[in-house]
Amino acid sequence: MNKLQLIRHIKEKGSFLCVGLDTDISKIPKHLQSHPDAIFEFNKAIIDATKDHCVSYKINTAFYEAEGLKGWEAMEKTLHYIPSTHFKIADAKRGDIGNTSAQYAKTFFETLPFDAVTVAPYMGEDSVRPFLEYEDKFAIVLGLTSNKGANDFELKKIDEDYLYEKVLSTVASWGTPDNLMFVVGATQATELLNVRNIIPDHFLLVPGVGFQGGSLEEVSKYGMNKDCGLLVNVSRAIIYASEHENFTAEAKEIALQYQVEMREYLK
């Protein structure tokens, strides 16, 4: 899916919601835990319940890799079940020397039909470049994250700039808004104006709304650009909205609430 298609889906649906499928088998409803294909059955139910209210799904690969081959198979089945109308993100945070990154890019863009993959930029341009060589695919580079550890490096100053500012401006020069996005945590909403000064046209993947306490209103106010330019990810607040057998009704209702609020901000 290219950028123009993503923008069209956002405008048509009145939503920039990304549902995070961070599926922990120990947290899904108990009646599903004994199912022979529990992870996929849960994900399938969540997708069916939320697909009308979101434009994207983000699969955090760690939750699937932790289950070995069975988890990887559940991830593949989940990916293929997601409708073609939805932007598919592999939250894998890859990034290594060039020939290794080339294999990671092949994994998530050829072997698996994801539209985007999250990438760590610490090793520099040659570690990111292989992800940028695919047409209509995106590298989503870590910029300013929500975790407490962001203070260890991202918010340290080098000369007059924060490290994250140097990362944004430098990485933006390696590609274009058609193949690059950036992760900016919702709990860093006060920095979004500054982020937009550096990268006005790129899409931002924004985690941290929901259980982590980020404000959708603030993210929209400070981070939205003329194309919307936001994919706000909500994981636990939607997929674990209920532990009961009717968990899909709760997930659908929460996703709908986000869509209704987002539609107002898109006007």
Long-range interactions of 107-112: CB distance < 8 A, separation 24+: 109/134, 109/137, 112/76, 112/79
From the number of C-beta atoms within 10 Å of its C-beta (0-12, 13-18, 19+), residue 235 rates as buried
DSSP category for residue 22: -
Q: 161 with 181: CB under 8 angstroms?
A: no
DSSP category for residue 28: S
To the nearest 10°, the Cα dihedral for 230, 234, 235, 238? Answer: -140
For every residue of 194-225, DSSP letters joined together read HHHHH-SSSEEEE--BSTT-B-HHHHHHHH-B
The H-assigned helical ranges of the chain are: 3-13, 30-33, 38-50, 62-65, 68-81, 98-106, 125-128, 163-172, 192-198, 216-223, 236-239, 247-266
Of the CA atoms within 13 Å of residue 191, those in its CB half-sphere come to 24
The C-alpha atoms of residue 205 and residue 194 are separated, in whole angstroms, by 16
DSSP category for residue 26: T
Examine the residue annotation and report whether 93 is marked as an active-site residue of this protein: yes
**3, 93, 221, 252: which one is catalytic?**
93
Point out the residues that are catalytic. Answer: 93
